Structure 1
Amino acid sequence: MMEFLTVEEIELPAAFDAHVHLRDGEMAQLVAPTIRKGGVDTVYVMPNLVPPITTVQQCLDYKKRLQAIEPNVEYLMSLYLHESITPSEIQEAKKAGITGVKSYPAGVTTNSSSGVLDYETFYPVFAEMEAQDMVLNLHGEVPSSPAHAHISTTTTKNPFSPSSTAITILNAEPAFLPTLLSLHKKFPKLRIILEHCSTSAALATVLKCGPTVVGTITAHHLSLIIDDWAGDPFCFCKPVAKTPEDRDALLRAVVGSEGKFFLGTDSAPHPLGKKRGEDKVAAGVFTQPYALGYVLDALKTGVERGVIKEEEVTKSVLEGFFSGWGRRFYGLGEGKGGNVVLRRGKEMVADVLRKDGLAVEVVPFRRGENTWSLQWK
């Protein structure tokens, strides 16, 4: 048995990151080469560019641009759920090797202004996705409702409960969960992923669903709570990190879900000025270069706090969460990228990611702190 708290070195298969934002142009040139640095050889790429990726040809062209930057990564591609998407477009996408479709509720996060307002409108699309065995990736939040943004201080309602009359960034995920259940009931064979789960309520809802519904968990949600992002723009993301109880539920899900949840970092790079130099802070935490190390650090802290047991952090759990469970759900088979060796505390997170010849700069999560180093074997 691996003694996780004292082990100094871990060898694992290359990881599958089931949720990444690689952007385009100079930003893609900066961040795509960091995929393998984080121990990952296969990624599921988000389509929320400007303009969004809504056609098969756009998607294939985007994949070629990414492959030109970093050819040693397998890119699984997705379309952006948009009113222009039709069942025939889904059929064409399947033939072209596109893996799934990502749904963003309108306006809730970065580049989501073209997102979904009414899910029933897309029932014919979902039916065709079910027939084609494609994956529906859900950003599981509803838009805030400023018209009802006041909750009386005398109310006894839990502000995290979807029954609350106000929708804010704190309860936007729980408020979405009835939609997930409704979609699963309507399309029981449709493979659905509730992305970047951030609440115990989301975890419980996924667990109630059948085997065609799973969830992803990010590296940063395993360590962040409200207090962290409230004072630090580089910890601010959507969905926002919630309570200590929610964070601890995520840690328990990593070691105890038996494959119902797996890694999707939602690594989301933004130019330095977008995170600190403008009136509004861009939502996104950049974790790509240190993805596996961040998760291992969070698990270690969870063991030390008594949230999870050391004996629960087995090599098989790490292999499953980082790679096997996600590959199985996506039907990828075993990875072919070899193994990686991680060494505890041997890497310092860069203060800023930059590259000669590129104007863009990105600040990584936990800048200046130590984490696990990583080498390919």
Structure 2
Amino acid sequence: MQQITIRRPDDWHLHLRDGAMLQGVLPETTRHFARAIIMPNLVPPVVTGADAAAYRDRILAAIPDGADFTPLMTLYLTEDTDPDDLAAAHASGLVTAVKLYPAGATTNSASGVRDFDKVRPVLERMAEIGCPLCVHGEVTDPDIDIFDREAVFIDRVLDPVRRATPGLRVVMEHITTRDGADYVASNDTDLGATITVQHLVLDRNDMLVGGMRPHYYCLPILKRREHRDALLKAATSGDPRYFLGTDSAPHPTHAKESECCSAGCFTAPNALSILADTFEKAGALDKLEGFTSLHGPAFYGLPVNEDTITLTRGAPVTWPARIETGDGPVTVFDPGFPVHWSVT
């Protein structure tokens, strides 16, 4: 097969940052994606409906002329979140979901949840109104190995929260382990999961063997190959509970190539090309449209996009090594192998 046409994809987990960085990286997403769930971990975070409205307006103002893109806003869950404000923002269509960060789990997560009992009233209200909870699924206990944080989170936090809050719709974002994939597979349709590009094509050897590769460092961190293989099996299975969330996370190159490098991979420019290559190698090109364009809208109760994009197989694709922004250059993710599918 040399060409495929699919419904225009959506990105169900995206970091756009703000200000000059937002203006620099947003065109890379609008080129290929129709909608995206926008992460709220700014400084200060997006915690109220008013915050979300103001951030949405800044995003809309930065959309390139002629681009058709809809930001789907989220609120950052804190122990002080007002259930009434959240419900009003969701009812108005302003807010699509709420994001849970365990405090200290990743970039700009210091305002996240430490005591889950304090957010139970909010979660119960979300279950009542049908507002999904997007979860960064890692514990942050210093005694838990970083490679085990996702599996422990499922047992200690996520499963008890879901059992205590029937009807709560949950997206396990950027799952990275067989444990995560198996947990989704063993549960009902109120649970879904996003999977990133980097976790489908890399394992921790790619990041560490022969020297540390900072542009492969992300959180949750890359795991063993057996976990990557489990994620690829899930993504290419056709199961509608798995869908694309790139977690594309731009940082200035100097922040990535530093003594204490920032976590995140900037995949917005080439995510679809890499995915097409990966699904082809897995003999699952016929499942690509479901993963990128159909399963996410179904979970969120949104219509699929009417327009389409076409990917063509040919000579290895090239892309800029860096994207220039007002906050400095951002290095584009390089999977480390030739990619033969381009968006045309």
The TM-score with structure 1 as length reference comes to 0.85
Are 2:290 and 1:320 aligned?
Answer: yes
Structure 2 counterpart of 1:283, one-letter code: A
SS of residue in 2 equivalent to 1:77: strand
1:117-169 Cα shifts (integer Å, max 9, x gaps): 12121110001111111010000001141xxxxxxxxxxxxxxxxxxxx4122
Q: Percent identity?
A: 36
Letter in 1 for 2:7: P
Mapped contact 1:80–1:102 kept (Cα < 8 A): yes
Letter in 2 for 1:169: I
1:212-361 equivalences under 5 Å are 212-230=190-208, 231-277=212-258, 279-301=259-281, 303=282, 310=283, 313-315=284-286, 317-336=287-306, 338-344=307-313, 345-354=315-324, 358-361=326-329
Q: Distance in 1 between matches of 2:278 and 2:42?
A: 30
How many angstroms does 1:370 deviate by?
Answer: 4.4
Alignment of 1:1-377 (within 5 A): 7-37=1-31, 39-70=32-63, 72-97=68-93, 98-145=95-142, 166-178=143-155, 179-230=157-208, 231-277=212-258, 279-301=259-281, 303=282, 310=283, 313-315=284-286, 317-336=287-306, 338-344=307-313, 345-354=315-324, 358-366=326-334, 370-371=338-339, 372-375=341-344
- Aligned 8 A contact 1:188 1:212 in 2: no
SS of 2:5's equivalent in the other structure is strand
Deviation of 1:293 after TM superposition, in Å, equals: 1.1
Count of equivalent residues: 334
- Distance in 2 (alpha carbons) for counterparts of 1:350 and 1:370: 14
Q: 1:142 to 1:287 in 2, by over 3 A?
A: same
The answer to whether the 8 A contact 2:15-2:250 is kept is: yes
Extract unaligned runs of 5+ from structure 1.
1-6, 146-165, 304-309
Distance 1:334 1:351 in 2: 32
What letter is aligned with 1:243? R
Structure 2 CA distance, aligned partners of 1:202 and 1:65? 34
Find the aligned partners of 1:200 and 1:229 in 2 and give their Cα distance.
19
SS of corresponding position for 2:146: coil
Instruction: Tell me the alpha carbon deviations over residues 38-88 of structure 1, each in whole angstroms, 9 at most, x when there is no partner.
Output: x21110100000110001111011011111111621111000011221211
Distance in 2, matches of 1:50 and 1:276, equals 22
Q: Whose radius of gyration is greater, 1 or 2?
A: 1
Range moving further from structure 2, 49-58 or 84-93 = 84-93
CA distance in 2, matches of 1:204, 1:367: 26
Amino acid at match of 1:69: A
CA distance in 1, matches of 2:61, 2:34: 15
Q: CA deviation at 1:222?
A: 0.3
CA root-mean-square deviation: 1.6
Assess, with a 3 A threshold, how the Cα gap between structure 1 residues 197 and 367 changes in structure 2: closer, same or farther. Answer: closer
Aligned equivalents of 2:260 and 2:141: distance in 1?
16
| Deviation, structure 1 residue 367 | 7.3
Q: CA deviation at 1:36?
A: 2.8
The whole-number CA distance in structure 1 between the counterparts of 2:147 and 2:336 is: 29
- Residue-by-residue CA offset, 1:203-230 (whole Å, 9 max, x unaligned): 1111222110111101110011112223
SS state at 2:322 partner:
coil
For 2:288 and 2:204, locate their aligned partners in 1 and report how far apart those are by CA, in whole Å.
27
Q: Secondary structure at the match of 2:179?
A: helix
